[in-house]
Structure 1
């Protein structure tokens, strides 16, 4: 299955939080998007890996993505190893995306920055012919995405560009709230965490609104780029 965009997250819910609005918008435009979760989020304070798996499935259905899978890496112990690189390489060669979204380059959770570098390195290595991989006995062809972009998470990293998600913020928040065990619920008896507060839930709106204010739209999501972006023309730029 070839997709236009492959979104990679260290934990189930990373993608929804970081770029859920952008994904919803792309899908509305007819683009195919797949999500790869590196871990099951099994070290999360709230919920279990079983509930996270069900929540991830529900979030995927809300966004309308083409596919979602989990690479079963160890939550909290993501390393840039050959084994983990090859798992991502196989996924990149399977889905053959033009663009990859992955974790923030620096963030509060150490897995995020580690996953960002791991995914970036794997995307490059996936283009090397001499790295041979196979799935179910069938040899895969090499494939390198044209661009790797990093979404923004907990920290307020200055974006290299933003995507206008006006009209899609509600869909993003709906997908995030599919992770019912993880986010604000005044009736929950589980321990409080930084992302389970009311303020964090409200931040999904006011941070998108602030990036929109700076860029002249209602709501936006920010990304950092690994290389200089060239524009063919000025169509689509919001002045």
Structure 2
């Protein structure tokens, strides 16, 4: 299956928090979108990996994803090395996306920046013809593939975006997908330990950021991304 957009996250819920409304909008526009979670988030203070698996499946259905997979790297301990790059390359070559979205280039959680660099490097390496990979499920050698663009969504740190996407009308879908992770986020009934992301204020801040970015470009809500290269447009009117 070829995808238009492949979104990577170090943990289940990263993609929803950083780009959930953009994903929902692209799916509504007929694009095939998938998410690859690098880890199962097994070091998370709240919940369990098994619960996170079920929550990720629920969020995938809410967003209308074409596919969601988990590479089961070690939460907190995966590194940007040959072994992990090859596994990401296999996934990129399997789905041949035009665009890849991935973690923030700088953030509070060490896995975010690490996952960002790992995926970015793998996107480049995936286009090299002398790197041989095959999928275990079918034993077929894969053709090289390099995505047209790699964009990084913004997470905990309030990084300055290089561009923003108008996601007006899709913020409720983003919130619904986020709240699919009931073990991780605000739940007044929960007796689990409090974390930096389990307060109501955190969820409010995610929505507020989208509202504020939207305000800056004259729309209701927006999500921000950073880029690795210059942004090109065909015409001046392409800009909002």
TM-score normalized with structure 2 length: 0.98
Structure 1 residues 65-80: aligned runs within 5 Å = 65-80=65-80
Which residue of structure 2 aligns with residue 147 of structure 1? Answer: 149
Superposed CA RMSD in Å reads: 0.7
Deviation for aligned residue 1:229: 1.4
1:180 corresponds to 2:182: yes
Deviation per CA, 1:6-54, whole angstroms, max 9, x where unpaired? 0000000000000000000000110000100000000000000000000
Which residue of structure 2 aligns with residue 137 of structure 1? Answer: 139
Deviation per CA, 1:68-108, whole angstroms, max 9, x where unpaired? 00001000012001111011000000000000000000000
Structure 1 residues 82-231: aligned runs within 5 Å = 82-135=82-135, 136-231=138-233
Structure 1 residues 51-70: aligned runs within 5 Å = 51-70=51-70
Aligned residues: 238
TM-score normalized with structure 1 length: 0.98
Give secondary structure in 1 for the equivalent of 2:197: helix
Q: CA separation in 1, counterparts of 2:206 and 2:124?
A: 31
Unmatched segments (≥5 aa) in structure 1: none
Which residue of structure 1 aligns with residue 43 of structure 2? Answer: 43
Give secondary structure in 2 for the equivalent of 1:163: strand
Structure 1 outlier segments of 4+, above 4 Å: none
Give secondary structure in 1 for the equivalent of 2:31: coil
